[in-house]
Amino acid sequence: MIEHLPQPSPAELDALTALWEASVRATHDFLSEEDIPFFRQMVRNEALPGTTLYVIRESEAGTNRSGNACGSGGGAYAGAEKTGGCHRKSGGAGKFGGFTAFAGVAGDMLEMLFVAPGARGKGFGRQLVNYVTRHCGVRRVDVNEQNPQAAGFYERMGFRTAGRDAADPSGRPYPILHMELGHAPHTGLVKIPSLPTDRIGIGFRAEVPGTDTEKQP
């Protein structure tokens, strides 16, 4: 269901940018209307081409029989319609070119994770995060502090806040939380304190054969 998109076409980049904008408008209500075109061109011309992309398409999305992500393991489609049992749709069907969600990865950093508004709450974001952390080495993500829903999502996925910047990388007044993959979420188990063993006296005397402590028949 998850497909590696190694060389997105201009039409695919446009579709992913449209998905990004729809998702941002639905979740980033702290952004001004003037911010949208600024970030849109950055996403279209820099962020999307500069990351390794993993996408989930609509119901036509192809998966191989093992259930692994299409294009994973270093495979590339190179314009083919079918590779290794995975299908790649070359058309632009659907509102966002047939895309439902996507993730952008650079090194150990999850640079982008966006889900189409109509597909939220169906587990697509969780699928992508699970995949990139398990198979792509992702350990870090930056989150807008003013988007607590996203921060809570990453906390449930095992990330913890490791730092904070008062502004985003472009200098706009949107604080950024730097999150890193940490320990598993708290299980609710309560730690039992150590017993005060210094207060417990356990004395014994070994019985050695041939001594006066040996029991006689």
pLDDT in tens, 35-89: 999 999 999 999 999 999 999 998 744 433 233 333 333 222 122 222 233 334 4
pLDDT higher than 90, residue 202: no
Instruction: Compute CA distances 59 → 6, 130, 165, whole Å.
Output: 21, 20, 39
Tens of pLDDT, residue by residue over 112-124, are 999 999 999 999 9
Whether residue 141 is predicted with pLDDT greater than 80 in this model: the reply is yes
The pLDDT value given to residue 210: 52
Number of alpha carbons in the 13 Å side-chain half-sphere of residue 11: 9
Q: For the residues 10-24, what does the mean pLDDT come to?
A: 98
Domains of the chain: 2-138 (3.40.630.30)
Backbone phi, psi, residue 137, to 5°: 75, 15
CB 90 within 8 A of CB 81: yes
Which is more confidently placed, 98 or 197?
98
Give the pLDDT of residue 13: 98
Determine the number of helices (DSSP H) and then strands (DSSP E) in the chain: 4, 9
Query: What is residue 81's predicted lDDT score, i.e. its pLDDT?
Result: 25
pLDDT of residue 185: 44
